[in-house]
Amino acid sequence: MRIRRYLKHEDHRRLLTNIFSLGTIQIVNYVLPLLTVPYLVRILEPDYFGLLAFATATITYFALITDYGFNLSATRQVSIHRDDFDKVNEIFSATMIIKFFLMFFSFLILCILVFFIDKFKNHWDLYMITFGMVVGQFLFPIWLFQGKEKMKYITFINVSTKVLFTLSIFALVKEQDDYLLVQGLTSAGFIISGIFSMILVKLKFRVFFYLPSWDILKKHFKDGWYIFTSTLAISLFTTSTTFILGLFTNNTLVGYYAAAEKIVQAVKGLNGPVSQSIYPLISKKIHTNLRTGVSFIYKIGKVIVMFSFLISMILFIFAEPISDLLLGDQYKPSIVLLRIMSFLPLIISISNLCAVQGLYNMGKADLVSKYLSLIGIAHVLLICLLIPFFGIIGAAIGVVITEILGTIFSIYYFKRELRSTIGNG
């Protein structure tokens, strides 16, 4: 009876639909790579697997620049103005224009890297092909679908293209020399998904593209700035670890670390559908009534934290059999890394609730940006000290320490802002 009453509410039905849709997409984005990892780590071996991981980490920076925090800032704006046709067109047009110029700027930086720096010049074609992921992400306006809470419309596109190109990896990648094909197929999956999603935007939402005024572009650029700097800061203790490890060590050690991190990322991603689905809903609730929105965060937060604790425990206890099953005997050094990083899903889930769901939706993205930037810089300094002495273990320890610090700061500032806004009562 309680479930039936819950489903009678339109917001609740939409939330469950979006969680299911995003859950399906998340399975594609995290579980399908887990299916390819056991195959690729054996075909490519640690050296070439590490090379691909380093290339992906490098291109991820350009993806972050291109996304520019719009996955949260534009989502929030679309969620608030979803029934205002002209405003949604403005948000869509301004966001896509800014993202295009950021992508073009990113490509220019990549050209400088691959043509003038030996570390990148030796595999210039790999980096160029991998940049296709950035193009695909630019074309895929997931923020528009999230803001309108219509995720079911892009589920089929995302799932079908990613499944197709994952199967292509098994069919076409047969030896180490096919490493370029791995990134080529992955990039093709991103680009085709993006193209079809843009067609869907036109057909379903009737959104049209126009050239907004300079003032409107500046406004949307400014809206995304603090979330962008926060996301960039977070990348300093996620993506940068693989990148810096590649600069300090070799592709083989990067391969060990990247293999363990792939598993942790896949497990951590299990919370993604819920997090992404509740964000626009919480945004709307907080915009209407702060107490109601915060109460919702606490209620759903208990479930998220309990689930995260469970999956972290499973990862810690069964690290060895999981590594043996997914990675094989060549990746024994990855087992200890897996154990060290096993509680990241729990730590990050708490941080997400306080920072993303709480502070971002309370309009405190600038605050999050400031403390995450400081922590991100501290992380880079920390792993630059740990990696020369402890290698890949030092990298894993550095990530955990940094994520714990980030969570402590998120809890502190979230509680502080609540006290100053609505008081202790």
Q: What is the mean pLDDT of each run of 10 residues along the chain (425 residues)?
A: 50 62 65 77 88 90 86 80 81 91 95 90 93 93 79 76 85 90 91 89 80 86 78 70 86 90 81 72 79 85 90 94 88 93 92 86 81 86 91 93 92 88 60
The predicted structure's pLDDT at residue 138: 93
Query: Rounded to 5 degrees, what are φ and ψ at 213?
Result: -70, 165
Contact 190, 135 (CB under 8 A): yes
Q: How many domains does the chain have?
A: 1
Residues contacting residue 363 through CB under 8 Å, at least 6 positions apart: none
The predicted structure's pLDDT at residue 3: 46
d(CA 363, CA 184): 39
Q: Give, as one character, the DSSP assignment of residue 174.
A: -
Q: Give, as one character, the DSSP assignment of residue 175.
A: S
What is the torsional sign of CA 247, 403, 143, 94?
A: negative
The predicted structure's pLDDT at residue 6: 45
d(CA 202, CA 211): 16
Exposed/middle/buried for residue 422 (C-beta within 10 Å: 0-12, 13-18, 19+)? exposed
Exposed/middle/buried for residue 336 (C-beta within 10 Å: 0-12, 13-18, 19+)? middle
The predicted structure's pLDDT at residue 315: 93
DSSP assignment string, 274-291: HHHHHHHHHHHHHHH-HH
Tell me the residue range of the domain where 340 lies: 2-422
